[in-house]
Structure 1
């Protein structure tokens, strides 16, 4: 490994705030795991190896209180948890979220690590309510952990078949022939204007080949454009005085039609582009 990217934050807390702060962190972790669709994960309370206490820095009393506080948070949660003796960092106990991958292996992702050492090293102090100097503890928090590792677990979790909101490409617009390309690009611009991640497959390939490739790439929706869609979308020429820009403007608002297929192979038929965009935005908002 040459480098790793971590969403690392550092919070300074009083010792009596440790349990409360861990509860807040766990609530945030649960929300993030839910947002990403993870349901199979466990919590590990990483404590000292009691047979080798000399490996750890910090006062014995602080260690004991902190380990008890973290276990209380774990006991009150609805997440399966277990003790990890010897898994603590040398500077303090921690709470780790272990996500199970596609073949049953556990990977540590989220972590909240308590640190009694750095406040001493950096001579950190605060004045308590009695006017006395006290040393805080530091919480090193990473909700996703290593971004690269989290992405690997996420890809395996969905086998690449991401829900719509997570898909790198949400809609692949497929013109059947070269004469449909301009229309396809116009559709793509309208989709992109609503922040829908869209690509146009304008390769000189068959329609079935393009559909197959999009399905293999696990793109959630394919918008097929051919003569039927273009013909239905064209405004009748009974208004010859209208400029091209006016016609295109009318199309962009409500007159465009596309045929939709899903990556599972379901044919949704022709649909008004405005209605399709509304459907996509609702699905993205719901997430699952």
Structure 2
């Protein structure tokens, strides 16, 4: 049986060295990189989203870097729809392609597809909101355990938003939330999941130094130029959202920078959890050995 092509998926927390690892892999396997970073799609954002440098972009062909306006937002599902034909073309020339980014949902959409759920009815949404307000987290937990015990066992039971989302689907459809999971068709390629191995204390130091460099490179000026678009979801993210209160006179520049560093570290912590199943590799050589052994 002919072996499927291989997508090497490089994930991991911000500032961990994903870009350098992806470029090293792309150069070794003579292939191209699909960026799955949900903020690097947009031309207007460069500093605050740590877009690869011109030198890095020249080192290996990249897709989905600054290829559209933030006024044309790209969802995880639409990203996969656009990326799959690109991968199909790449796999005609090489058995290996690279995907890189810290946006786990976008990577999952590309590699596995996203499950489809029914459109939530206003009545279902109102019912869940009333339950949340009247009985809190414990009420959400008890209701989901009653309606979908299978999903209740696997979900983060302390995450109220996830419980609410599942209940809205249950109320809308009259079926368990879990009955909609795992229905996406399989991809015509295999995946190997890697992340740079990095000590957490060193990572946090890298994050702090990266923020200082972003500020030195003109992050505040970039943000000011984007002020009229501050309502967009992509600008309500770490590195941008912290500047809006400063521009409103709520605190000073030093506080904004402090918050960016703090929120970046917190975001990295969440990413570490998301990418916990990705294989850590010490360097490009180890990554190449892992891919060649896949």
TM-score bucket of the superposed structures, by smaller chain: under 0.3
Higher relative contact order (CA 8 A, sep 6+): 2
Structure having the higher Rg: 1
TM-score if structure 1 supplies the norm length? Answer: 0.24
Of Structure 1 and Structure 2, the greater strand share is in 1
